[in-house]
């Protein structure tokens, strides 16, 4: 009888672990906005800038810097001047 109690005990411990994950607090969705003036200052002060450079110098995630550069490219304030496979180089469009 002791052998039959052990498997049911281990099943209960698995259930309790599963329940803990479901009842935990929900993660908040965070949106980071990149300060346009600060980002443009960084881009203007460099000959060219990568997404990684911009993210590091402005203190935001790479995804936020990438979104800013793509949006700026569409607006026409920044242009893609080179790079490869996700490591593109961007430059301010000269007026």
Domains and CATH numbers, the chain: 36-92 (1.10.10.10)
Average pLDDT, the chain: 78
Distances (CA, A) of 73 to 3, 7, 9, 81, 93: 68, 61, 60, 11, 9
Distance CA 91, CA 77 (A): 9
pLDDT at 24 over 70: no
The pTM of this model reads 0.62
Per-residue confidence (pLDDT) for residue 37, from 0 to 100: 86
Q: CA angle at residue 87 from 83 to 89, to 5 degrees? A: 50
Q: pLDDT tens digits for 43-78?
A: 999 999 999 999 999 989 999 999 999 999 999 999
Per-residue confidence (pLDDT) for residue 35, from 0 to 100: 80
């Amino acid at each position: 009888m002791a052998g039959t109690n052990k498997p049911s005990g281990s099943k209960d411990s698995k259930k309790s672990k599963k329940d803990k994950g479901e009842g935990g607090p929900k993660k908040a969705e965070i949106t980071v906005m990149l300060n346009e003036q600060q980002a443009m200052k960084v881009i203007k002060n460099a000959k060219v800038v990568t997404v990684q450079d911009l993210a590091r110098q402005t203190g935001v995630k790479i995804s936020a810097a990438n979104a800013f550069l793509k949006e700026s490219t569409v607006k026409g304030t920044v242009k893609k001047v080179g790079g490869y496979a996700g490591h593109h180089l961007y430059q301010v469009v000269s007026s």
